[in-house]
Chains A and B, each alone.
Chain A
């Protein structure tokens, strides 16, 4: 069974702080890693993807990947109340087409 684990939260951070969301995965053959944001009652929306070890930055978002430790994270700088949502980590292996999703971490940014 290919597992993707996330802390369910809620993770509460004050406005303007850095939110750090973490994800571990069990399949060493995983090659592609994605972060989706999901607002309550809405469908998941892709915000970041990363394939190589290291950091990848896009605006206030930074994805970090460490394949040796089987760990991927998402940092959100200058967190805003509008960032309050559930963040889903998804992992794809070399074989097959489907993504394996974690159950998501709920983030609450308080004014």
Chain B
């Protein structure tokens, strides 16, 4: 089974702090993603990475950066946290769908609920 883990389930930070959210997958997947999910807005893509040290902006990259130094680990960084970054953050890894030939299924980690005060 694909396993995607995230460093924290719940996190409380203060405005202006630098925040690191970590994601690790154990299936040797090349592609990893960071989303945030807010009521009424659905899942929105922040950044994704298709290889080590490679990254691309998603739909809402402002205020975020990412780091992918090792294949299994993809980090999301909030350089200076703000209250509008209070959200559920979801990491996903892309791999084969249920043992089939497709390699375009995303598997999600458990999520980190971040509150910025």
Contacts and interface: CB of A to CB of B under 8 A. Distances in A.
A13 B107 CA distance: 28
A16 to B, nearest CB: 27
Nearest to A47: B98
Interface residues of A, number: 20
**B interface majority secondary structure:** strand
A97 B50 contact: yes
A104 B42 contact: yes
A99 B100 CA distance: 18
B21 interface: no
A92 interface: yes
Interface in B13-44: 31, 33, 40-43
B102 A49 contact: yes
Interface in B87-114: 90, 94, 97-98, 100, 102, 104-111
A102 B41 CA distance: 9
Nearest to A8: B40
Contact of B104 (A32, A36, A42, A103): A32
Interface in A30-84: 32, 34, 36, 42-46, 49, 51
Contacts of A44: 43, 90, 108
Contacts, number: 49
A97 B105 contact: no
B7 to A, nearest CB: 14
A97 B56 CA distance: 10
Nearest to A90: B106
29 contacts: A32-B102, A34-B106, A42-B110, A43-B108, A43-B109, A43-B110, A44-B43, A45-B108, A46-B97, A46-B98, A46-B106, A46-B107, A49-B97, A49-B100, A49-B102, A49-B105, A88-B42, A88-B43, A97-B33, A97-B50, A97-B104, A98-B33, A98-B48, A98-B58, A101-B43, A102-B42, A103-B40, A103-B41, A103-B42
Interface of B: 31, 33, 40-43, 45, 48, 50, 58, 90, 94, 97-98, 100, 102, 104-111
Interface of A: 32, 34, 36, 42-46, 49, 51, 88, 90, 92, 97-99, 101-104
